[in-house]
């Protein structure tokens, strides 16, 4: 059972669409993360929010826009994506944003760009 909930589980969208991925955790964690994972590759960090503030943006294209409305929620807004953006998008959380904390991952959203 995962304690990090992601919706939707699957998403197919055209390159001109706007959609949002959502992530929620109720473990009281204060750090939340977005990762992108291509098939047979490791997860790659995109964004880190620590105490609801964006602390890391790994030079992600502006067509990906993160948002952290509160300490339990994390969104990823998508606009004008490219076919190479098709991947599994994973949300994770940890107790704090320091590097010695385990990260808890959601099931991910499998995104396909047509």
Residues in the site for another protein, rule: CB under 8 A? 2, 31, 33, 40-45, 48, 50, 55-56, 58, 90, 92, 97-100, 102-108
- Least gap, CB of 83 to another protein (angstroms): 22
CA 12 to chain centroid: 16
Which C-beta is closer to another protein: that of 15 or that of 97? 97
- Least gap, CB of 80 to another protein (angstroms): 26
- Least gap, CB of 42 to another protein (angstroms): 4
**What is the dihedral sign for C-alpha 10, 15, 20, 21?**
positive
- Least gap, CB of 77 to another protein (angstroms): 22
Which C-beta is closer to another protein: that of 17 or that of 101? 101
What whole-number distance in Å separates Cα of residue 96 and Cα of residue 50?
7
The tokens for 52 are 């609801």
Which C-beta is closer to another protein: that of 39 or that of 83? 39
Which C-beta is closer to another protein: that of 7 or that of 82? 7
User: Exposed/middle/buried for 45, CB within 10 Å: 0-12, 13-18, 19+?
Assistant: middle
N-term to C-term CA, the chain:
31
């Amino acid at each position: 059972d995962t304690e990090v909930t992601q919706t939707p589980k699957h998403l197919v969208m055209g390159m001109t669409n706007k959609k949002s991925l959502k992530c929620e955790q109720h473990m009281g964690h204060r750090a939340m993360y977005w990762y992108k994972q291509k098939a047979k590759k490791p997860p790659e960090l995109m964004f880190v929010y620590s105490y609801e503030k964006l602390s890391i943006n790994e030079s992600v294209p502006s067509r990906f826009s993160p948002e952290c409305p509160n300490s339990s929620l994390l969104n990823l807004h998508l606009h004008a994506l490219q076919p190479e953006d098709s991947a599994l998008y994973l949300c994770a959380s940890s107790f704090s944003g320091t590097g010695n904390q385990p990260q808890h991952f959601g099931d991910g959203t499998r995104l396909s760009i047509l």
